[in-house]
Amino acid sequence: MTVQELVTAVPLTVVSGQDALTRAVTGGYASDLLSNVMGQAQQGNVWITMQGHQNIIAVASLSNLAAVIVAGGSQPEQEAVKKAESEGVVLLTSPLGVFEVAGRLHRLGIAGA
């Protein structure tokens, strides 16, 4: 499944990374603890978080994640959006809570890391 297919199925709003929506999604991970994501999320995962600061972009880039979903109606800070655009990180948002987004990904066949 690609990030674009997730955007349509969940649905999600694309904030940045429109050029990388064809990335393959290998799994999913949900956490707000950055060090946990760096140690446990796997390359190609979609990361679900409620955080919106620019450090999430650094973690996503370092971990080579397919996308970051900022859930729960939270909005990423402008600095995070700029960093995502400059680093080519797909940044998505959802008004749905983390649990609901994770459940929808699971129903789509996206396994947890």
Q: What pLDDT tens digit does each residue of the chain (113 aa) get?
A: 999 999 999 999 999 999 999 999 999 999 999 999 999 999 999 999 999 999 999 999 999 999 999 999 999 999 999 999 999 999 999 999 999 999 999 999 998 76
| pLDDT at residue 112 in the model | 78
> Which pTM value belongs to this model?
0.95
DSSP 66: S
Counting other chains too, the contacts that 40-48 makes at CB distance below 8 Å and 24 or more residues apart are 40/113, 41/65, 41/113, 42/113, 45/113, 46/3, 46/6, 46/105, 46/110, 48/98, 48/101, 48/102, 48/105
3-state helix, strand, coil in the chain (%, to 5): 40, 20, 40
